[in-house]
């Protein structure tokens, strides 16, 4: 599907996940997913890996903590982190403020997720 119209968080398909987290599908095609997400303070995603999807997380506002294969990385606003297929990871908001970020997945990560035990 080709979409030549402008898209924003206000016009995108919205969903909720985890404990009060939000996502907006900005691009949703068979080959590419771009999602804007919001995580409230103190929330975390389950540690997992994707068999095929390569992901890039770009922090718009706030600060995200990434546990990647047992190592923690802190990423501030206007910076990002790439996660290769097969790499165990978890995204957390350890701060006291909401964090907003983009998740770009190619191919899309939905249905391509395996939850794994934490370290």
CATH number at residue 80: 2.60.120.10
The residues that bridge with 50 in the sheet, in sequence order, are 113
> pLDDT per residue over 49-102, tens digit each?
999 999 999 999 999 999 999 999 999 999 999 999 999 999 999 999 999 999
Give me the number of domains the chain comprises.
1
Is there a domain that residue 32 lies in? no
71 within domain boundaries? yes
Instruction: Say if strands 89-92 and 113-115 run parallel, antiparallel, or are unpaired.
Output: unpaired
Contact 55, 104 (CB under 8 A): yes
Predicted model pTM: 0.92
In a domain, 12, yes or no: no
Q: Do 34 and 101 touch, CB atoms closer than 8 A?
A: no
> Does residue 67 fall inside a structural domain?
yes
Write out pLDDT tens, residues 25-59: 999 999 999 999 999 999 999 999 999 999 999 99
Structural domain span for residue 71: 43-109
Q: What is the DSSP letter of 47?
A: P
């Amino acid at each position: 599907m080709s979409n030549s119209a402008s898209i924003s968080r206000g016009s995108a398909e919205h969903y909720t996940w985890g404990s009060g987290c939000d996502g907006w599908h900005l691009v949703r095609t068979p080959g590419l997913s771009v999602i804007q997400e919001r995580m409230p303070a103190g929330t975390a995603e389950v540690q997992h890996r994707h068999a095929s999807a390569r992901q890039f997380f770009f922090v718009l506002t706030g600060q995200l903590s990434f546990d990647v294969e047992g190592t923690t990385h802190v990423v501030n606003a206007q910076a990002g982190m790439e996660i290769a297929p097969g790499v165990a990871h978890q995204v957390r908001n350890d701060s006291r403020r909401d964090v907003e970020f983009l998740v770009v997945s190619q191919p899309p990560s939905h249905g391509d997720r395996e939850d794994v035990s934490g370290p």
